[in-house]
């Protein structure tokens, strides 16, 4: 009877281990999926920032959306600062 009891206890322990392993696997799959989504969002953000920080005042290449006024102002300010630095007026 002791052997049977030990066998049943081992069986229950193995079932618990198996259930835990399945939960961990599911969690890792969820983490991987979320990490991939974050990576894609980061690439989108990088691309968008690249589009609006080009030297054409924020105008998307090949589009007629016009320059963004704020970016044009910032761009002209940066150009003025660079010019002043080149001349030595800083």
Per-residue pLDDT reduced to its tens digit, 3-52? 788 899 999 999 999 999 999 999 999 999 999 999 999 998 888 888 77
pLDDT digits (tens, 9 = 90+) for 58-79: 555 555 555 555 555 556 666 6
Q: How far from 33 is each of 36, 40, 48, 68, 73, CA to CA, in Å?
A: 5, 11, 23, 36, 41
Band (pLDDT 50/70/90 cuts) for residue 90 is very low
pLDDT at 34: 94
Backbone angles phi, psi at 83, to 5 degrees: -60, -45
The rounded distance, in Å, linking the Cα atoms of 65 and 51 is 12
């Amino acid at each position: 009877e002791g052997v049977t009891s030990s066998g049943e206890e081992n069986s229950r322990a193995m079932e618990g281990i198996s259930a835990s392993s399945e939960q961990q696997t599911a969690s890792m799959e969820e983490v991987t999926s979320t990490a991939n989504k974050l990576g894609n969002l980061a690439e989108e953000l990088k691309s968008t920032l690249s589009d609006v920080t080009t030297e054409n005042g924020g105008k998307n290449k090949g589009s007629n959306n016009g320059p963004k006024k704020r970016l044009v102002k910032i761009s002209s300010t940066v150009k003025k600062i660079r010019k002043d630095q080149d001349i030595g007026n800083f």
